[in-house]
Each structure stands twice: as C-alpha cells, then as structure tokens.
Amino acid sequence: MKRKKVSILIFLLYTFIALSFVYGEELRLDGRVYEATNKKGISALTVKLIPPKSVRKSEKVVSTDEKGEFHFTNIDQGKYLIEVYQGITILYRNMMEINQNTRKDIALRRKD
C-alpha cells in the first residue's frame, strides 16, 4: 500500500511538472507607441491588453512612459485585443497572438 502511494505521488509530480511547461509559460509583451511622422514616443497613453472572454481572465492596463514605452508581464499564450487610449478616446485597436515574448510597436498619425 505504501509503495502504491509513492507511485501515485511520483506520477502526480511528473504530471504537474509537464503541465507547467506546456501551460505555465508566462510571457512578456513590450512595445512603444510613437508618432508616425517623427518617430517621437507618446507618453501618458493607456494601453489595454484584453484576453478573449472565453478564458475568463481580466484585462491588463498600463500607461506609456516618457519614451512611449509600455510593458506587460505574466501573460499567457493566446489571442488578445490590444487597445491604446488617450483619455476615453480610442487611438488604436488590433488583435494579436502571443506565443512567445513579443514586441509591438504602434505608429499613430495625427488627424488634422
């Protein structure tokens, strides 16, 4: 009986380790929002990373720094909607797939 318990524990341990490699990889998304005409970074914008509703995870929100850079960490693999806002005005929206550490640079054009 004791040997059976040890075997079960070893099996569960190997299963947990295998699943953590397949499903537990946490990824990064780094990027920059800049003006298309002069390549200058745009600060103080809100960047949202929104997972599909089917995965029941909450959206992540960050702000761009003085160079227009933004960073998301601890992201699971999958498809996401990325949105950029200035206040409540949406400036950019696009779907993207994240399967590895990713960089997303976003060029915005001023509307005259």
Looking at residue 56, its pLDDT comes to 85
> In this structure, what DSSP letter does residue 52 have?
-
Does residue 59 lie in a domain region? Answer: yes
Any idea what the CATH number is for the domain that residue 102 is in? Answer: 2.60.40.10
Does residue 7 lie in a domain region? Answer: no
Question: What are the Cα distances from residue 3, in Å, to 6, 13, 109?
Answer: 5, 15, 68
Q: Kindly indicate the confidence band of residue 108, based on its pLDDT and cuts at 50, 70 and 90.
A: very high
d(CA 43, CA 25): 30
Looking at residue 4, its pLDDT comes to 67
Give 1 or 75, the one with higher predicted confidence.
Answer: 75
Range of the domain at 84: 26-108
Would you say 47 and 61 are in contact if contact means Cβ atoms under 8 Å apart?
yes
Does residue 33 lie in a domain region? Answer: yes
Does residue 65 lie in a domain region? Answer: yes
Q: What angle do CA 32, 103, 21 make, to 5 degrees?
A: 145
Does residue 93 lie in a domain region? Answer: yes
Does residue 16 lie in a domain region? Answer: no
Would you say 75 and 26 are in contact if contact means Cβ atoms under 8 Å apart?
yes
The tally of domains found in the chain comes to: 1
Does residue 39 lie in a domain region? Answer: yes
Question: Mean pLDDT, the chain, as a whole number?
Answer: 86
Does residue 2 lie in a domain region? Answer: no
